[in-house]
Amino acid sequence: MDTLLDRFCRYVKVETTAVEQTDKYPSSPGQLDLGRMLADELRALKLDGVSMDEHGIVMATIPGNVPGAATIAWVSHMDTSPEFTAKNVKPTMHKNYDGKDIVLPGDKSRVIRVSDSPVLAELKGKTIITSDGTTLLGADDKSGLSVIMTAAAHLMAHPELKHGPIRIVFTCDEEVGRGTDKLDLKKINATCAYTLDGETIGELDNETFSADLAVVTIHGRNIHPGLATGVMVNAIRLAGLFLSRMPWQTLAPENTSKREPFLHPYVLEGSVDKATIRILLRSFETADLAKEADVVRAIATTVTNAHPRCKIDIEVKKQYRNMGEALLREPRSVELAAKAIKNCGIEPRFQAIRGGTDGSRLSEMGLPTPNLAVGMHNFHSPLEFACLEEMEASVKILTELAQLWGKEK
């Protein structure tokens, strides 16, 4: 019989790294491999309407056993972050965790320090799962996949638990801002949804950042360096100048917290002829994104004024918006989630997360979608870890939530 841990270890071993700069959807073939695996497992559990469409999106329904009860959805994404490799993940168990720093066995220079991850102090005695340090773990969001699959199996095995229909939705390319691009809300047809894509159990995310992406392209001019005097325009050097002008002391993620916005240059590619900088624009206030874009444009103007022979193009792309306003249209989405958490003996903690989920976009599209925790931590990093007991608690919360919604119309 599959356990939650069995599922988690099986899923993280499938490489599903999202690829940012491609027109393909999904962006990587491993997402299709994992999607087929999940669809087969859903069929084995005898869910209704199991499908995987041409875009790799997996859907199924846990049939309701309360006539007229509201339909909800549980959502998770199959891809992992492109910020670190997820090839040949080796999940590593730290049973009865001793509360000390964790040295990762595949690369002993990588250490998960309690001082950097204070949540570890609360997890002493529990089972911590890491990679071996040579890859990320992929708990974001294979913890969510594992929790949903385990909760679905539990409800299917226990028809005495009363609930309405529950849609299962597994998306692709969430990590590159495209998780909902191919989703059809008419197929989901739910009152609200929940993404299973959060951190410490008890946290209930009812706000996210609003987000845009600025792509800065610096056009230089290349020539043999021996003939470069008065002719060469070095785009790499100008990219360095551009970055030096960014307000890192006041608008950088490493120097901001809570509800403060930021600008985050996270990719730099280039040559003498052309350099590209990709910058994340983030704020809880959607209107402030335009101000952040103006900061980027002003820096470009400063650089081109000082170096008039260079050209700088800036493209700003919309990514997602703060889910907070949309959740107000269906207050039960948050109220019942908080009640489910409390009914499981955990005090709910409302969070405005400094990031986004598929729920950000789903809420904007008209499907209110708060985010629930699944016990993943330090994601997008080789220092990523998950807590088995937190994932198990998440399964209990989902089961309770299903029953609470079973009393709603």
Domain boundaries, the chain: 4-208+322-405, 210-319
Q: Which pLDDT belongs to residue 356?
A: 83
At residue 27, does pLDDT exceed 70? Answer: yes
Residues present in the chain in total: 409
Q: What is the mean pLDDT of residues 158-168?
A: 98
At residue 1, does pLDDT exceed 70? Answer: no
Q: Which pLDDT belongs to residue 21?
A: 84
Give the helix/strand (H/E) hosting 151.
helix 139-157
At residue 82, does pLDDT exceed 60? Answer: yes
Q: Which pLDDT belongs to residue 325?
A: 81
Contact status, residue 310 vs residue 219, Cβ threshold 8 Å = yes
Question: Sorting pLDDT into bands at 50, 70 and 90, what band is 204?
Answer: very high
Q: Which pLDDT belongs to residue 2?
A: 78
- List the one residue out of 212, 348, 209 whose CA is nearest residue 281: 212
- At what angle are helices 388-405 and 332-343 packed, to 10 degrees? 120
pLDDT digits (tens, 9 = 90+) for 311-347: 999 999 998 899 998 899 999 999 999 999 999 999 9
DSSP category for residue 291: H
Q: Please, how many CA atoms are within 13 Å of residue 193, restricted to the half-sphere of its CB?
A: 31
Contact status, residue 204 vs residue 336, Cβ threshold 8 Å = no
At residue 48, does pLDDT exceed 90? Answer: yes
Residue 6 annotated in active site: no
Q: Point out the catalytic residue in the list 174, 207, 358, 392.
A: 174
At residue 50, does pLDDT exceed 70? Answer: yes
pTM strictly above 0.95: no
Q: Point out the catalytic residue in the list 79, 141, 197, 205.
A: 79
Q: What is the mean pLDDT of residues 277-290?
A: 96
Q: What is the mean pLDDT of residues 86-105?
A: 97
pLDDT digits (tens, 9 = 90+) for 227-239: 999 999 999 999 9
pLDDT digits (tens, 9 = 90+) for 358-373: 898 899 999 999 999 9
pLDDT digits (tens, 9 = 90+) for 184-199: 999 999 999 999 999 9
- Asked if CATH classification 3.30.70.360 holds for the domain at 210-319, the reply, yes or no, is yes
Question: Sorting pLDDT into bands at 50, 70 and 90, what band is 93?
Answer: very high
The position carrying tokens 């100008």 is 238
Q: How far apart are CA 165 and CA 396, in angstroms?
A: 18
Residue type, 165: P
Question: The domain 4-208+322-405 belongs to what CATH superfamily?
Answer: Zn peptidases (3.40.630.10)
| Average pLDDT value for the chain | 96
The position carrying tokens 């609003």 is 210
Please list the residues that pair with 215 across neighbouring strands: 278, 315
pLDDT digits (tens, 9 = 90+) for 378-392: 999 999 999 999 999
Residue 174 annotated in active site: yes
At residue 133, does pLDDT exceed 80? Answer: yes
Q: What is the mean pLDDT of residues 38-56?
A: 98
Burial code (b: 16+ CB inside 10 Å, e: under 16) for 341-376 equals beebebebeebebbbbbbbbbbbbeebbbbbbbbbb
Contact status, residue 12 vs residue 139, Cβ threshold 8 Å = yes
Burial code (b: 16+ CB inside 10 Å, e: under 16) for 13-28 equals ebbbbbebeeeeebbb
